[in-house]
A and B are shown apart, each in its own frame.
Chain A
Amino acid sequence: MTENNLAIEVEHLIRKFGENTAVNDISFSVKNGEIFAFLGPNGAGKSTTIKMLTTLLQPTSGTVLIHGFDPVKDQDNVRRSFGIVFQDPSLDEELTTYENMEFHGVLYKVPKKLREDRIKELLEIVELWDRKDHFVKTFSGGMKRRLEIARGLLHHPKIFFLDEPTLGLDPQTRNQIWTYIQNLNKQEGITVFFSTHYMEEAERVAQRVAIIDHGSIIAQGTPEELKTQTKKDNLEDAFLTLTGRKIRDENASSIDKLRGRMKMFRR
Chain B
Amino acid sequence: MSTIYILWLRQLKRYLRSKSRIFGSLGQPVLFLLALGFGLGPIFKKAGGGNYIDFLAPGIIAQGILFTAIFSGIELIWDRQFGFLKETLVAPVSRFEIMLGRTLGGATIATIQGIIVFCLTLLVGFRPHSWVVIPLVILTMFLIALLFTALGTAIASVMTDFQGFQLIMNFLVMPLFFLSGSLFPLTNIPSFLGFITRMDPLTYGVDALRGLLINTSHFPVSFSLSVISVLAALLLIIGSYLFSKIEI
- A interface list, Cβ under 8 A from B: 51, 54-58, 75-77, 79-80, 82, 84, 86, 88-95, 99, 102-104, 106-109, 254-255, 257-258, 261, 265, 267
Q: In the complex, which residues of chain A have a beta carbon less than 8 angstroms from the beta carbon of B160?
A: 254
Known: A92-B10, A107-B3, A107-B6. A261 touches B92 (CB 8 A): no
Known: A56-B89, A103-B6, A103-B10. A94 touches B162 (CB 8 A): no
A selection of 24 A-B contacts at a CB cut-off of 8 Å is A54-B90, A56-B89, A56-B90, A56-B248, A58-B247, A75-B92, A76-B92, A82-B90, A86-B86, A90-B87, A92-B10, A93-B82, A95-B10, A104-B91, A106-B6, A107-B91, A107-B92, A109-B2, A109-B92, A254-B80, A254-B161, A255-B81, A255-B82, A261-B162
Interface residues as binary, B74-96 with A (CB distance below 8 Å gives 1, 0 otherwise): 00000011111111111111000
Known: A106-B6, A258-B81, A261-B162. A56 touches B87 (CB 8 A): no
Q: In the complex, which residues of chain B have a beta carbon less than 8 angstroms from the beta carbon of A76?
A: 92
The reply to whether B248 and A94 form a contact with Cβ atoms under 8 Å apart is no
Q: In the complex, which residues of chain B have a beta carbon less than 8 angstroms from the beta carbon of A80?
A: 92
The reply to whether B84 and A91 form a contact with Cβ atoms under 8 Å apart is yes
Interface residues of B in 148-174 (CB under 8 A from A): 160-162, 165
Question: What 13 new A-B contacts, CB under 8 Å, besides A79-B91, A107-B6?
Answer: A58-B247, A75-B92, A79-B90, A86-B83, A90-B87, A94-B17, A95-B10, A106-B6, A107-B92, A254-B80, A255-B81, A255-B82, A261-B161
Mostly, the B contact residues are helix
Known: A54-B90, A94-B17. A106 touches B2 (CB 8 A): yes
Tell me how many residue pairs across A and B have CB atoms closer than 8 Å: 84
Which residue of the partner chain B has the closest CB to A109?
A: B2
Q: In the complex, which residues of chain B have a beta carbon less than 8 angstroms from the beta carbon of A109?
A: 2, 92
Kindly provide the distance from the CB of A78 to the nearest chain B CB, expressed in whole angstroms: 8
A255 to B78, CA, bound (A): 10
| B14, CB-defined interface residue at 8 Å | yes
A37 to B3, CA, bound (A): 33
A65 to B38, CA, bound (A): 68
A249 to B88, CA, bound (A): 30
Q: In the complex, which residues of chain A have a beta carbon less than 8 angstroms from the beta carbon of B129?
A: none
Q: Which of B6, B91, B247 has the most CB of A within 10 A?
A: B91
The reply to whether A94 and B14 form a contact with Cβ atoms under 8 Å apart is yes
A257 to B87, CA, bound (A): 21
A255 to B91, CA, bound (A): 22
Kindly provide the distance from the CB of A254 to the nearest chain B CB, expressed in whole angstroms: 6
The reply to whether B6 and A84 form a contact with Cβ atoms under 8 Å apart is no
Interface residues as binary, B211-248 with A (CB distance below 8 Å gives 1, 0 otherwise): 00000000000000000000000000000000000011
Interface residues of B in 1-40 (CB under 8 A from A): 2-3, 5-6, 10, 13-14, 17-18, 20, 24
Which residue of the partner chain B has the closest CB to A82?
A: B90
The reply to whether B6 and A94 form a contact with Cβ atoms under 8 Å apart is no
Which residue of the partner chain B has the closest CB to A54?
A: B90
Q: In the complex, which residues of chain B have a beta carbon less than 8 angstroms from the beta carbon of A108?
A: 91-92
The reply to whether A89 and B83 form a contact with Cβ atoms under 8 Å apart is yes
Among A51, A56, A86, A254, contact of B81 (Cβ-Cβ < 8 Å): A254
A103 to B88, CA, bound (A): 9
Closest 7 CB pairs of A and B: A90-B83, A79-B92, A107-B91, A106-B6, A76-B92, A90-B87, A88-B83
Q: Which of A89, A92, A93 has the most CB of B within 10 A?
A: A92
Q: In the complex, which residues of chain B have a beta carbon less than 8 angstroms from the beta carbon of A84?
A: 90
Q: Which of B14, B20, B92, B160 has the most CB of A within 10 A?
A: B92
Known: A56-B86, A79-B92, A254-B81. A95 touches B13 (CB 8 A): yes
Kindly provide the distance from the CB of B125 to the nearest chain A CB, expressed in whole angstroms: 30
Which residue of the partner chain A has the closest CB to B87?
A: A90
Which residue of the partner chain B has the closest CB to A259?
A: B81
A104 to B13, CA, bound (A): 16
Which residue of the partner chain A has the closest CB to B165?
A: A265
The reply to whether A257 and B161 form a contact with Cβ atoms under 8 Å apart is yes
A107 to B92, CA, bound (A): 7
Which residue of the partner chain A has the closest CB to B97?
A: A107
The reply to whether B162 and A90 form a contact with Cβ atoms under 8 Å apart is no
The reply to whether B165 and A104 form a contact with Cβ atoms under 8 Å apart is no
Q: In the complex, which residues of chain A have a beta carbon less than 8 angstroms from the beta carbon of B13?
A: 94-95, 99
A94 to B247, CA, bound (A): 24
